[in-house]
Structure 1
């Protein structure tokens, strides 16, 4: 069984609040203060969950340099009150950083969700060869 430390519990809470503030900032027409607060909470929560060294190793890998540059550059632009451009850059960087994780996530969702049309759509997105045709 995996033990969860107190720092990881705090990190999950910080990450959740960060995602909430990011969504709320987008809903309020890209409010730069909410987006900046959400970015800071999200990155702090991620650091609490996986640790400072592993977070740095994740963002500063050679093969993820372009994604990290776009993501962290977008965070910097949001902090400098350019929310729309910053969020576009962050989104692109997020897609570059986590593109290898998306098929795994879609495969997991396909195994959890048992709605036929949604299950077929998720299996096509995950690249599974067992999709219904």
Structure 2
């Protein structure tokens, strides 16, 4: 699958958002870095998926709880309570993107060098069930 230029920029923004968010946590929940990571991630997600698809993703009925907690976590981080906002936001991320974690683990398990470690940590032994 080829990405358009807009989608490539979106992926770069998402990566920058993940970078700032990760280092915001490493720097003992630095408010500015967490806020910048959230802004970059949301811009990148919108550029990668498009405005309509992003809105439809967050507005789906089964994603309302995740969307509300994710937005509340971002708001709490902006209101200068980074630790509480981080916990609320992580809960929202798990509700929103929890379906993708199995796909991500499956993909990482197919990478040659780190794949065996990922599958071992995920708990799958790679053996088939006896039928």
How would you bin the TM-score normalised by the shorter chain? 0.7 to 0.9
Taking the TM superposition and a 5 Å limit, the aligned residue runs for 1:111-130 are 111-113=110-112, 116=116, 118-124=118-124, 130=128
Moved over 6 A (4+): none
**Superposed displacement of residue 116, structure 1:** 4.4
**Superposed displacement of residue 121, structure 1:** 2.8
2:41 aligned with 1:42: yes
Q: Is the 8 A contact 2:12 2:44 kept in 1?
A: yes
Number of equivalenced pairs: 128
Q: CA distance change for structure 1 residues 113 and 96 in 2, over 3 Å: closer, same or farther?
A: farther
Tell me which moved more, 109-118 or 48-57: 109-118
Aligned to 1:108: 107
Gaps of 5+ in 2: none
Aligned to 1:85: 84
Taking the TM superposition and a 5 Å limit, the aligned residue runs for 1:4-83 are 4-83=3-82
Q: CA distance change for structure 1 residues 97 and 129 in 2, over 3 Å: closer, same or farther?
A: farther
Tell me which moved more, 105-114 or 57-66: 105-114
Post-superposition Cα deviations, 1:24-68, rounded to whole Å, max 9, x if no partner, equal 111111111111011001100110000111111111110011111
Gaps of 5+ in 1: none
Give the TM-score normalised by the residue count of structure 1. 0.85
Post-superposition Cα deviations, 1:65-112, rounded to whole Å, max 9, x if no partner, equal 111111111011111111111110110111111121111211222222
Distance 2:79 2:96 in 1: 23
Distance 2:98 2:20 in 1: 24
